[in-house]
Amino acid sequence: MNASWEALRGRIGERFYHLATRWFENSPPGWPEVLPQLLEAIPGVQGASLLLREGEGYSLVAQVGYDNALLGTWESMADSLRWYGGGLEGWQNGEMRRRDGPGSAATFEGGVRYMQYSSWAKIQESLIVPLAFEGEVWGFLNLDTFAAEGFPLGLEILCQDLAAQICLLVASWRQQSAARRRQALLEAVADGQGVLRQVHGTQALYDAALSALLEHTRAQSGWILRESPEGFEVVSQRGREGNPPEGGGDFLIPLPEHAHPPTLYLSLKDHEETFSPEEQVFTRALAEALGVALEREGALAEAQERAATLRSLAELSALLESLTDPEAIARKGLEVALGFTGFELGGYFLSVHNRVRKQFLVGEYPEAFERLYQGRQQKVGEGLVGASLAQGQLLFVPDYSSSHYALEEFARSGLLSALAAPVGQSAAIALGSLRRRVELTPETQALVAFLVRRVEWALERLKHLKQIQRTRDSAFRALGLVLEYRDYETKGHTDRVVALSGRFGLALGLAEEDLEALRWGAYVHDIGKVAIPDAVLLKPGSLSEAEWDIIRRHPLIGHEILSGLPELPAGTLQVVRYHHERWDGGGYPDGLAGEAIPLLARIFALVDVYDALMSPRPYKVAWSRRKARAEIRNQAARQFDPELAEVFLKL
């Protein structure tokens, strides 16, 4: 090699050193700036193109002597090899090839684009330099001359140096590009994860994940799909409308198994290329993040559901304390159970003479289902409810028809899942589903068992309260009968005024506690008469004024006797003390008038007088119902509350 070629190689080395210094300091110039400087030392080059590997082809990144409109042009591997004109082995070994003129440019798509520019037709000779490294072609350099004599001999020697130097720059460029892509990937993943952490709700998570995927990849469209018996159902979609296409560049990956539900997929439709490795990594990372977010959402929903269930059980416990009807207690318990188990119907059953008897159903069910119980004679031990009563334990069957507890007619009716639990020794509740099979976790079954026990405790409490109430009623009735045995004229009066007071109180819509206070007051309204001497109480003739004063003291005496009972309702004491007061203020013992007289005392005053009018006495015969009602009407607004008198006369 002569001195001039050595000088040229030296100039190429200087240019490379200058560019490499900038390049390796991590502030590389762009390829359009690099290529002209490298070519300054190459004689005869009037046009040049540098194409670097992108996907399954090569992209034009820099050129000299041609219109910049061609920058970014992409050509396939096949077109590049066709232009190269040699075999694949020579291409991969970096063997340079000379071509005369534009040659076969018109035979492939990329060449047609190049020929649109006038300089292309001036080409007399081209030198194609593959940029090969360890069998991989990172790109190629296309050198053109417009001179008729072509390139000088020996140019390949300079181009070998040039190719090696460009490969070094490309290697650095690839490393830096990869680092930038990794950095961008990490930032994109962090950004996507950050977005998902701020989003709540399953559908919102689906939508946010797809939006992030379309923002950070080249995807034009995206779908999230749920598998169903009919195929795939679109649950979220971004970009192009419609269902995901089949084949043609789709990227389909399953979400993690811990996602809820796990049968979901991400599908992204690229344009005419495949997804880059970075895009695939990003998509998988975001899919994993979406799975975690869905799991978090599911856990949050489960926690909220558990909190709502516990809250409903706490509210039920408070409510049961106020209910006084066994069926109302059972009904409320069933309604709460339906709210957190997924069943849609429930029933309450009693065991009567070793037979299971339906009391009522709640929830949603067809009339045909309820008709299954009509005339049914089911023994304890038969069916799911009968078995739970016989065994004394909760029984749950997720698949009713295959259970040995199943009764044929109920299986035919479409009962899919069922649960039954005994409530004490002689009652049971049952839950069922006709729409879908229900799966209950052990935790949910434990909550159902707790609810059943709570209903059982409420029913037991109510039973004991009723026993106490009956005991109290018996005690108060006994006191009333004691007075009747002292005063034979009033025999039967106690039971009659108690019964009539109850009817009157119900007609007025009194609360249960007021009805009880009124009933007890009716039993003992005249208890003060135990302190009245027989000479006065049983005197057959007319009483003197002094004797009347003694009689008028019995309400005060009764009030004083009963005030020592701390659990006695105030309403009962009011009935005892004020039942002889008059609306016009002319009564005794305190001379109260109008609404100053307590309501229960005003109610009982009507009942007491009416029964006295309707009952025979030694000094009068029993009045007729018509005459007694006329007297009540006549005394309205005088002796009696006029509004109460109006209601009473409608009984």
Q: pLDDT-derived band of residue 551, with 50, 70 and 90 as boundaries?
A: confident
- Write out pLDDT tens, residues 287-336: 888 877 887 877 777 777 777 777 777 777 777 777 778 888 889 988 98
Identify whether 185 is part of a domain: no
Question: Which of 130, 146, 180 marks a domain boundary?
Answer: 180
Strand partners for 396: 419
Q: β-strand 221-228 against 378-379: which pairing, if any?
A: unpaired
Determine the residue type at 429: I
**How do residues 168-199 score in pLDDT, each as one tens digit?**
777 777 777 777 767 777 777 778 777 778 88
Indicate if the pLDDT at residue 248 is higher than 50.
Answer: no
Number of domains in the chain: 4
Helices (H), 31-108: 31-39, 77-84, 88-92
Average pLDDT (88-114) is 71
Can you spell out the DSSP letters for 484-546?
HHH-GGGTTHHHHHHHHHHHHHHHTT--HHHHHHHHHHHHHTTGGGGGS-HHHHT-SSPPPHH
Among 128-137, 249-258, 286-295, the least confident range: 249-258
Is 134 found in the same domain as 45? yes
Q: What are phi and psi of 127, to 5 degrees?
A: -120, 120
- Domain residues for the domain of 168 are 3-180
At 1 the pLDDT is 46
- 435 and 332 housed in the same domain: yes
Portion of the chain with pLDDT greater than 90, in percent: 27
pLDDT at 278 > cutoff 90: no
Q: Considering only CA atoms, which of 250, 318, 310, 262 is closest in space to residue 287?
A: 262
Residue 149 domain flag? yes
Tens digit of each residue's pLDDT (9 = 90 or more) over 418-470:
999 999 889 999 999 999 999 888 888 888 888 888 888 888 887 777 777 77
* Residue 163 covered by a domain: yes
The better pLDDT of the pair 11, 98 is held by 98
C-alpha angle with apex 456: 452 to 462, nearest 5 degrees? 145
Report which of residues 385 and 226 the model is more confident about: 385
The answer, yes or no, to whether the previous bond of 589 is cis (omega within 30 of 0) is: yes
The CA-based angle 131-136-139, given to 5 degrees, is 35
Per-residue model confidence (pLDDT) at position 149:
81
How far is Cα 496 from Cα 506, in angstroms, rounded to an integer?
A: 16
- Amino acid letter at 402? S
Please check whether residues 34 and 106 belong to one and the same domain: yes
From 419, 440, 458, give the residue that closes a domain.
458
Query: Is 427 part of a structural domain of the chain?
Result: yes
The three-state DSSP-derived secondary structure of 263-299 is CEEEEEECCCCCCCHHHHHHHHHHHHHHHHHHHHHHH
Interior angle at CA 381, CA 375 and CA 382, nearest 5: 45
CB 518 within 8 A of CB 600: yes
Beta bridge partners of 147: none
Distances from the Cα of 379 to the Cαs of 93, 368, 384, 634, in angstroms?
92, 22, 11, 61
Assess contact for 55 and 274: CB atoms under 8 A: yes
Highest mean pLDDT out of 223-237, 266-280, 387-401, 442-456: 387-401
Q: Cα(272)–Cα(249) distance, rounded to whole angstroms? A: 7
Task: Write down the pTM of the prediction.
Answer: 0.49
> How far, in Å, CA of 508 to CA of 647, rounded?
8
Average the pLDDT over 136-150 and give the result: 87
Contact yes or no for 38/11 (Cβ under 8 A): no
Is 246 a residue whose pLDDT tops 70? no
Q: For 465-502, how does the pLDDT look when each residue is reduced to its tens digit (9 = 90+)?
A: 777 777 777 777 776 666 666 554 556 788 899 999 99
Average pLDDT on 106-114 reads 54
pLDDT of residue 112: 55
SS3 373: coil
Q: What is the 3-state secondary structure (H, E, C) of 410-440?
A: HHHCCCCEEEEEEECCCEEEEEEECCCCCCC
Read off the DSSP letter of residue 397: E
Average pLDDT, the chain: 81
Whether residues 355 and 436 share a domain: the answer is yes
pLDDT: is 175 or 49 the higher one? 49
- Measuring CA to CA, which residue among 577, 576, 573, 575 is closest to residue 563? 573
Q: Is residue 208 part of a domain?
A: yes
Compare 547 and 618 and report the one with higher pLDDT: 547
Same domain, yes or no, for 102 and 214? no
First to last CA, the chain: 134
Same domain, 421 and 535: no
Q: What is the DSSP string of 17-31?
A: HHHHHHHHTT-PPPH
DSSP 97-142: EEEESSGGGGGSHHHHHHTTSGGGGG--EEEEEEEEETTEEEEEEE
- Domain co-membership, 263 together with 338: no
Q: Is the pLDDT of residue 249 over 50?
A: no
pLDDT value, residue 71:
84
Which of 129, 125, 138, 146 lies closest to 66 in space, CA to CA? 146
What is the percent of the chain with per-residue pLDDT over 70, rounded to a whole number?
A: 82
Res. 75: pLDDT tops 80: yes
Residues 64 and 103 in one domain: yes
- The CATH number covering residue 495 comes to 1.10.3210.10
Q: What is the mean pLDDT of residues 125-133?
A: 88
Copy the structure tokens of residue 527.
Answer: 């208890």
Which whole-number Å values give the CA distances from 561 to 250, 534, 573, 581, 601, in the listed order?
93, 19, 10, 19, 18
Whether 328 maps to a domain, the answer reads yes
Top pLDDT among 162 and 605 is at 605
- For the cut 50, the answer to whether the pLDDT of residue 270 exceeds it is no
The token duo for 318 is: 């408070």
pLDDT > 70? residue 265: no
CA 244 to chain CA centroid, Å, is 29
Give the pLDDT mean for 620-635. Answer: 91
Q: Are residues 499 and 381 both part of a single domain? A: no
* pLDDT at residue 388, rounded to an integer: 94
CATH number at residue 204: 3.30.450.40
Q: Which of 51-60, 158-167, 241-250, 558-567 shows the lowest per-residue confidence on average (mean pLDDT)?
A: 241-250
Establish if 493 belongs to a structural domain: yes
Ramachandran angles phi, psi of 63, nearest 5°: -155, 160
Specify whether 101 is located in the same domain as 154.
yes
* Confidence at residue 555, expressed as pLDDT on a 0 to 100 scale: 93
Same domain, 435 and 516: no
In this structure, of 134-138, 153-157, 309-313, 372-376, the range with the lowest mean pLDDT score is 309-313
Of the residues 412, 442, 458, the one at which a domain ends = 458
Any domain includes 121: yes
Sheet holding 221-228, edge to edge: 231-238, 221-228, 264-269, 250-254
Residues 294 and 208 in one domain: yes
Q: What is the pLDDT of residue 68?
A: 79
